[in-house]
Structure 1
Amino acid sequence: MSAKEVVKAFYESDMANDANVVSEFFHKDCELHWTSSQGFVLLNYKEIKDFFKGTRQSYNSLRFEFTHLIESNEFVTTRHTLFGKTIENPESEVILAHFSAIWEVKDGKLYRGFEISLPADENDFESLASYAERKI
């Protein structure tokens, strides 16, 4: 698989329900450098595994919509919006956040990620329109 195919397969996986997502898609020596509205965090393989365990306890489903998915050798850059259905309200899908990420793929797995996320504001129509553009 190309680096872009690996990243795309990860985002298309059932990460809200599949306990094998991390072992299937993440390199054992991976790092995720994540800056969010809560600040910066550096996650290793075990911490990513714990993060997705918590995700599975909170969400029935997660869905990603991409505006950009660009590959350059082993690097893939994404710009996307995350939608989710919580366990408490499985009938209603909500916009959770907007993301930009750069992934390095090594040995067919996600090796190093640099991610920035911000909460999505459903009342900010310019922002929502910006994330509706497709440049894949």
Structure 2
Amino acid sequence: MSAKEIVKKFYKSDALIDGEVLKEFLHPEIIVEWNSSRGFVELDYKAVLELSGELSKAYVRSKVRISHIVCENDMVSLRYSHYVKTIENPREEMLLAHFMVIWQIKDNKLFRGYQMSQLS
């Protein structure tokens, strides 16, 4: 599977709110450097799984809409919008945030992520 296919499969899955699915995509040495509208955070394997657990407590559905994706060798860049449905209102889809991320793929897993986001 190509790096681009791995990333697309990741964002089409429920990995962002399902830790068991997420584990299939994460390299054990993953590091995500994330610049958000709230500041900078660096996440390792455990922290990424914890974030997924927190998201699963608040949202019953997660959907990513990719608008741009570019791949070169083991690096994949994409721009996407993340939509969710809350536990309180599972019928209404709401925009959570816009993202720009660059993923490095190693051993067919997400290895290094450089991400920027802005809340909707």
The TM-score normalised by the length of structure 2 is 0.96
What is the aligned partner in structure 2 of residue 70 from structure 1?
70
Describe the shift of the 1:30–1:70 C-alpha distance in structure 2 as closer, same or farther (beyond 3 A).
same
Structure 2 unaligned blocks of 5 or more: none
The residue identity in structure 1 corresponding to 2:79 is R
Structure 2: distance between partners of 1:98 and 1:49: 21
Deviations along 1:29-70, one digit per CA (max 9) or x if unpaired, are 000000101100000000001110111111111111111111
CA distance in 1, matches of 2:17, 2:51: 13
- TM-score, normalised via structure 1 length: 0.85
Tell whether the 8 Å contact from 1:74 to 1:104 is kept in structure 2 after alignment: yes
What is the rounded CA distance, in whole Å, between the counterparts of 2:43 and 2:115 in structure 1? 11
CA distance in structure 2 between the aligned counterparts of 1:27 and 1:16, rounded to whole angstroms: 15
The percentage of aligned residue pairs carrying the same residue is: 42
**Alignment check: 8 A CA contact 1:16 1:60 kept:** no
**Counterparts of residues 3-82 of structure 1 (less than 5 Å):** 3-15=3-15, 17-82=17-82
SS at 1:117's partner residue? strand
C-alpha separation between the residues in 1 aligned to 2:70 and 2:77?
5
* Post-superposition offset of 1:14: 1.2
CA 1:32–1:39 in 2, change beyond 3 Å: closer, same or farther?
A: same
Paired residue total: 120
- Structure 1 residues 47 and 95: CA distance shift in structure 2, 3 A: same
CA distance in 1, matches of 2:90, 2:16: 12
State how far apart, in whole Å, the 1-side matches of 2:53 and 2:45 are. 12
Q: Quick one: distance in 2 between partners of 1:6 and 1:26?
A: 11
Q: Which digits, 9 at most, give the CA deviation of each residue in 1:69-110, with x for residues without a partner?
A: 111000000001111001111010001111000000000000
Larger-gyration structure (1/2): 1
Name the SS of the counterpart of 2:78 in structure 1: strand
Contact 2:66 2:78 in 1 (8 A): yes
Find the counterpart in structure 2 of residue 84 from structure 1.
84
Structure 1 residue runs of 4 or more that deviate by more than 4 Å after TM superposition: none
Aligned to 2:19, what secondary structure does the other structure show?
A: coil
- Unaligned runs of 5+ residues in structure 1 are 121-136
